Amino acid sequence: MSITYENNEANFTSVIYEDEVVSFRDFLQEKAGEEVSIKFTECEDIHFAIIQLIMAYKKSYSCSYVFGEKKRLYQTVLEGFTTSENYCSK
């Protein structure tokens, strides 16, 4: 597993493939209404379905991110997502 969970934190490592979608969705549903923290410090890439779950959660609840030193495409997408719109800003 490339996603590990501890309390309200999800730690992403390596590459996150689509086979992680269901477990991550279950984690977010269990935490609904609570602030969730997602650590990407050791994450190389993420399947888009996971990004969609993160953005959907952030649309309704509090979600914070911790990114690594190297900026990745998924970071640009997540940082550009505004909860007041249905699209990512540039």
Residue partners of 49: CB distance under 8 A and separation at least 6: 18, 21
Predicted pLDDT at 87: 54
What is d(CA 43, CA 75) in angstroms, rounded to the nearest whole number? 10
Domains, the chain, in order of start with CATH, read 3-80 (3.30.750)
Q: Output the pLDDT for position 83.
A: 73
Number of other CB atoms surrounding residue 15 within 10 Å: 12
The string of pLDDT tens digits covering residues 29-75 is: 999 999 999 999 999 999 999 999 999 999 999 999 999 999 999 99
| 84, pLDDT greater than 90 | no
Burial class (CB in 10 A: 0-12, 13-18, 19+), 54: buried
Q: State the average pLDDT for the chain.
A: 92
CA distance 4 to 43: 12
